[in-house]
Structure 1
Amino acid sequence: MCAPLVMEQVARSLSRRAFLGAGLGLLAGQALAQAPVPGKAFRQAADLTHELSPEIPLFPGAEPMRITTLVTVRKDGYYGNRLDLWEHSGTHMDAPAHFVEGGLTAEKLPLGSLIAPLAVVDIREKAARNPDAQVTVDDLLAYERRHGRLPRGAFVAMHSGWEARWRDPKAFLNQDAGGTLHFPGFSPEAAEFLVREREIVGVGVDTLSLDFGPSKDFKAHLVFLGAGKYGLENLAGLAQVPPSGALLFVGAPKHRGASGGPVRAVAVW
């Protein structure tokens, strides 16, 4: 979520074979141990990230990103752009500091929290009936009856089907005549349940905000971020991922003092 209106060396590439052969390493060990199929070689992957561009939907008040080409291969012998963008653009992270004075900024989040068992809670049916649908405690308990208790260190993603509107910013924001936004999110009660009754590292949504569109107090944000959890907003591709059994990798922002920033989120299973 979140715009000013609301609150003012290239890594060496590893082949898939080499990656699987090497394993996840110590940081991923805990997350892998919590996955339903420990040690199983990954056969599928899904990119949960939208492409960034000046045309993407943004929370009201945020300026569109600008991409300025500075040099080209034809003219300068190499190609490069300058990017100007609001931290909370596209598929992005909300770090605790985004809503909590003195909270962790994105670059200081524990590295192990960026690798997590992924639980995808599907609320598409009720979101199709009501754009203001919220993930409730009942939804979470129904998920657990079907797929087992949320594992320790889990990342919980809401799948509302809202991604289908991504290429139409007006439909994605879904503002009414009075300017109120309408889209799904987590209820404050579900947020409290997840931080008090379950051991999660973070949550994500396929909409603009962890809170549903009409929220004025952003209680779900305050609960999650206040508990030191992070949020991912504008996730993509959740329909490709199984409800349980996948592992999430978050390429988190690492600039100084980051309230958040664009991420590359990938699920494997």
Structure 2
Amino acid sequence: MLLAYIINMVILGTSQGMRVVDLTQEHSSSTIFWPGNPRYNFTILSRGSNGSYWYEGNSFATAEHGGTHVDSPAHFYEGGWRVQQIPMKKLVEKGVIINVKQKTLIDPDYRVTVEDLVNYERTYGPIPDGAVVLMNSGWSDKYPNPNTVFNTPTPSDPKTFHFPGWHENATAWLMKNRNINIMGVDTPSNDYGQAKVFPTHVLMGKHNIIGVENVGFLDKIPESGSTICVAVLKLKDGSGGPARVFAIVEENKEVLASCSESLLSEVFLMFSLIPLVHRLIGQ
């Protein structure tokens, strides 16, 4: 029992050095979809008490590509992975946040460049293998108003869209020079609003890179050092699907080290008491 208590203390002490941050926009009747997709529908089948217990059950219908969601490689590349074929290990990896918020304030059609990636690496070091690379343009603050998200008075017309995304040159640079798993944005598309042939989507599909779009709340996590999980619905033959995206962030390492030293002292103290406890039990 004492040993179990000590182990529990160690586990709790470790978990206190972490925080989990939700990066997902709520799936609801206000969810943003690309024009041409059916709207989200939620039907209450049962919600109430029958006298003995409370029971709730609902039905929902949604297009694949709406709200915070995944684009599987098959979305824009024949023969690419469909959702159920994506290896699980590809969905959990180190987070890389490319902050271009100041640039998108000046140019809403801004596209992440190779220079942005090089500048990131000058600050934080090389983008790690398997990384989840996300653009933070500040756009998630505009969600879920379609006029502000698509940046147009006519959100039913894609020709009028003005929002940031990835430049195909930066996408190609990542494909050639880095071994990443996922690329994503806090806007409706990895290609910017004025894209006509979606070159970033095509490149990603060709290299089996998973896409994630309409990610939220990226200001709540550091630009380097998090682990990002993309928990997509395992939809058979899906070209994409709704996802719960979240980050696991290690708190200040100095604080964590201090806590760990304190915890270690407590563990040693408790182990030193074991012989005394055994003698007392023997009496």
TM-score range, shorter chain: 0.7 to 0.9
Structure 1 residue 230 corresponds to structure 2 residue 210: yes
Deviation at 1:243, TM superposition (A): 0.5
Q: 2:195 aligns with which of 212, 215, 223?
A: 215
Deviation sequence 1:68-105 (CA, Å, 0-9, x none): 11112335952111111101111000000111112111
TM-score by length of 1: 0.83
Output the CA distance in 1 between the equivalents of 2:131 and 2:122.
16
Deviation at 1:42, TM superposition (A): 4.4
Q: How many residues align?
A: 236
TM-score by length of 2: 0.79
Q: Which amino acid aligns with 1:44?
A: R
* TM alignment of 1:6-21, pairs within 5 A: 21=11
Q: Bigger CA drift: 246-255 or 200-209?
A: 246-255
Q: Which residue of 2 aligns with 1:26?
A: none
Output the CA distance in 1 between the equivalents of 2:89 and 2:32.
30
Structure 1 residue 109 corresponds to structure 2 residue 89: no
Q: Which residue of 2 aligns with 1:45?
A: 20
Q: Relative to 1, partners in 2 of residues 1:176 and 1:191: Cα closer, same or farther, differing over 3 Å?
A: farther
Q: Which residue of 2 aligns with 1:119?
A: 96
Q: Which amino acid aligns with 2:219?
A: A
Q: Relative to 1, partners in 2 of residues 1:42 and 1:153: Cα closer, same or farther, differing over 3 Å?
A: farther
Contact 2:147–2:153 at 8 Å: present in 1 too? Answer: no
Contact 2:69–2:241 at 8 Å: present in 1 too? Answer: yes
Q: Which residue of 2 aligns with 1:92?
A: 69
Q: Bigger CA drift: 56-65 or 135-144?
A: 56-65
Q: Which amino acid aligns with 1:207?
A: T
Q: Which amino acid aligns with 1:50?
A: Q
Contact 1:120–1:242 at 8 Å: present in 2 too? Answer: yes
Contact 1:57–1:173 at 8 Å: present in 2 too? Answer: no
Q: Which residue of 2 aligns with 1:71?
A: 46
Contact 1:95–1:106 at 8 Å: present in 2 too? Answer: yes
* Divergent runs of 4+, >4 A: 39-42
Matched residue SS, 1:194: helix
Output the CA distance in 2 between the equivalents of 1:155 and 1:21.
27
Q: Which residue of 2 aligns with 1:256?
A: 236
Give aligned-pair identity as a percent: 35
Q: Which residue of 2 aligns with 1:147?
A: 124
Output the CA distance in 2 between the equivalents of 1:120 and 1:225.
21
Q: Which amino acid aligns with 2:56?
A: Y
Q: Which amino acid aligns with 2:96?
A: A
Q: Which residue of 1 aligns with 2:175?
A: 195
Contact 1:119–1:156 at 8 Å: present in 2 too? Answer: yes
Contact 2:25–2:67 at 8 Å: present in 1 too? Answer: yes
Matched residue SS, 1:46: strand
Q: Which amino acid aligns with 1:43?
A: M
Output the CA distance in 2 between the equivalents of 1:146 and 1:184.
23
Q: Which residue of 1 aligns with 2:137?
A: 160
Matched residue SS, 1:236: coil
Output the CA distance in 1 between the equivalents of 2:146 and 2:189.
14
Structure 2 stretches lacking a partner, 5+ long: 1-6, 250-283
Q: Which residue of 2 aligns with 1:239?
A: 219
Q: Relative to 1, partners in 2 of residues 1:221 and 1:166: Cα closer, same or farther, differing over 3 Å?
A: same
Q: Which residue of 2 aligns with 1:268?
A: 248
Output the CA distance in 2 between the equivalents of 1:56 and 1:255.
19
Contact 2:38–2:62 at 8 Å: present in 1 too? Answer: yes
